[in-house]
Amino acid sequence: MNDKPIPVTSPLLPPLTEFIPYLEQIWNSRFLTNGGDMHQELEQALCKHLGVKHIALFANGTLALVTALQALRITGEVITSPYSFVATAHSLLWNGIKPVFVDIDPTTLNLDPEKIEAAITPQTTAIMPVHCYGNPCDTAAIERIADTYNLKVIYDAAHAFGVQDEGGSVLRHGDLSVLSFHATKVFNTFEGGAIICPDEKTYRRIGHLKNFGFVNETTVVAPGINGKMNEVSAAFGLLQLRYIDQALTRRRQIDLLYRQHLSGIPGLHCLPPRDVPARANCAYFPVLVEPNFPIGRDDLYQLMRRHGIHVRRYFYPLISDFPMYRGLPSAAPANLPVARSIADKVLCLPIFPDLDDAAVVNVCAVIEGACGA
Ligand SMILES: *Cc1c(COP(=O)(O)O)cnc(C)c1O
């Protein structure tokens, strides 16, 4: 038994004293939101850090997803993954768009490109894939399909802060990518999010859409939302950026430690590691509890909770099982066998920069104990 419960995640929190000067600057400026100095600085710092052209900051990732769809004037049907956080599909409903669920690849747990084409109809206007757990989608295959059928691609990159592929940041792919800076994510601004966009014109349009549609003091060009990030959140992002590299290094160490301790356990499957560890962000540590594991996934979930280890079943239930989606033809279980099977087996283990080796070993010992029982 642990004295203190171990959460599945815990925010990266730099020393409080280092935040005070930022707050003093905000107090002195009396500028609390609406694109102040902190907001401008964080956009620039993130562009540099992530190696992308333009970043528009948001109050949260969900508003960024909703706005990304509006920025590209997406309508009709959008192909997306049922194996994600519910906000992915909610952003479509908020725009009156019909989600079309396509099954996932059993290895990457991302949209299976081979199944996308069959789901395309004359109403399809876009694909919204998810870099699930920060593992990159098959961006080349998705781009080929999008080009062939003239579809837009908006990546839900909520998990993909700092993730790279052979060519650089994964955030460069598609027409737009959307990040979340929620407290539970790799990089956080308490609540926050961003749209990554390749060109200045789209960046400006997004700027209007996140500010009620204002282009100047008296002109409103669209029914825009209030999606702006405030100065305190932006300042926190700036401070945190100074610690993000060491946080990612620690996450990779924990990932490796789990793999070393869990690799020999029959019936417990870790997702394959990235070829180049430095390109991964190790945002999550999902394991699959297979039928030959001595106890069921939900029994292991309960057992670990009793030991004070707050593992989570991300992503269970599937989005397509929630009441507002389950009536859709594409939500039919026969259409999504892989996603369903993974949702019934997955367990996300604790991973966050402050987690020490002893805690990781303890988590693994509880899992091993379930085998001996
Ligand atoms: C966290 C998350 C979101 C929503 O982001 P918020 O900042 O919490 O609004 C969207 N999609 C995925 C895949 C997420 O994990």
Contact (CB, 8 A) for 79 and 58? no
Contact (CB, 8 A) for 134 and 277? no
128: closest CA among 90, 164, 166?
90
User: Is the CB of residue 85 below 6 angstroms from any atom belonging to ligand 1?
Assistant: yes
pTM: 0.97
DSSP reduced 3-state for 3: coil
User: Is the CB of residue 88 below 6 angstroms from any atom belonging to ligand 1?
Assistant: yes
pLDDT digits (tens, 9 = 90+) for 272-301: 999 999 999 999 999 999 999 999 999 999
94 φ/ψ angles, rounded to the nearest 5 degrees: -60, -20
Distance 62 CA to ligand 1 centre (A): 6
Q: In this structure, what token pair is assigned to residue 320?
A: 């397509």
Q: For residues 156 and 70, what is the distance between their CA atoms, to the nearest angstrom? A: 15
User: Is the CB of residue 87 below 6 angstroms from any atom belonging to ligand 1?
Assistant: yes
pLDDT in the model for residue 339:
98
User: Which residue do the tokens 């737009």 mark?
Assistant: 176
Give the dihedral of Cα atoms 240, 211, 55, 84; nearest 10 deg.
Answer: 80
366 φ/ψ angles, rounded to the nearest 5 degrees: -65, -40
Q: For residues 187 and 247, what is the distance between their CA atoms, to the nearest angstrom? A: 9
Distance 142 CA to ligand 1 centre (A): 21
Q: Which of 8, 60, 85 to mutate to test the pocket of ligand 1 (most atoms within 8 A of CB)?
A: 85
Angle between helices 297-306 and 357-372 (to 10 degrees): 130
User: Is the CB of residue 130 below 6 angstroms from any atom belonging to ligand 1?
Assistant: yes
DSSP reduced 3-state for 171: helix
Contact (CB, 8 A) for 83 and 314? no
Q: In this structure, what token pair is assigned to residue 88?
A: 């992915």
Contact (CB, 8 A) for 346 and 270? no
pLDDT digits (tens, 9 = 90+) for 45-74: 999 999 999 999 999 999 999 999 999 999
pLDDT in the model for residue 49:
97
Contact (CB, 8 A) for 341 and 318? no
Residue nearest to atom 5 of ligand 1 (CA): 61
Angle between helices 20-29 and 231-241 (to 10 degrees): 150
The residues that bridge with 288 in the sheet, in sequence order, are 269, 346
Distance 148 CA to ligand 1 centre (A): 29
Distance 65 CA to ligand 1 centre (A): 9
DSSP class of 234: H
80 φ/ψ angles, rounded to the nearest 5 degrees: -150, 175
pLDDT in the model for residue 143:
98
Q: Which of 180, 184, 190, 316 to mutate to test the pocket of ligand 1 (most atoms within 8 A of CB)?
A: 180
From residue 70, how far is each of 202, 205, 215, 219, 222 by CA, in Å? 11, 10, 16, 18, 10
Distance 2 CA to ligand 1 centre (A): 30
Q: For residues 228 and 99, what is the distance between their CA atoms, to the nearest angstrom? A: 26
Q: For residues 227 and 234, what is the distance between their CA atoms, to the nearest angstrom? A: 13
Instruction: Mark the ranges of the chain whose per-residue pLDDT is less than 50.
Output: 1-2
Q: For residues 28 and 243, what is the distance between their CA atoms, to the nearest angstrom? A: 25
Angle between helices 20-29 and 37-50 (to 10 degrees): 130
Distance 199 CA to ligand 1 centre (A): 24
Instruction: Calculate the average pLDDT of the chain.
Output: 96
Q: For residues 287 and 350, what is the distance between their CA atoms, to the nearest angstrom? A: 11
pLDDT in the model for residue 372:
76
User: Is the CB of residue 156 below 6 angstroms from any atom belonging to ligand 1?
Assistant: yes
- Domains, the chain, in order of start with CATH, read 16-102+110-239 (3.40.640.10), 244-370 (3.90.1150.10)
Q: For residues 70 and 57, what is the distance between their CA atoms, to the nearest angstrom? A: 16
pLDDT in the model for residue 4:
83
CB under 8 Å to 192, separation ≥6 — which residues?
57, 58, 59, 60, 61, 180, 181, 182, 229, 233, 237
pLDDT in the model for residue 350:
98
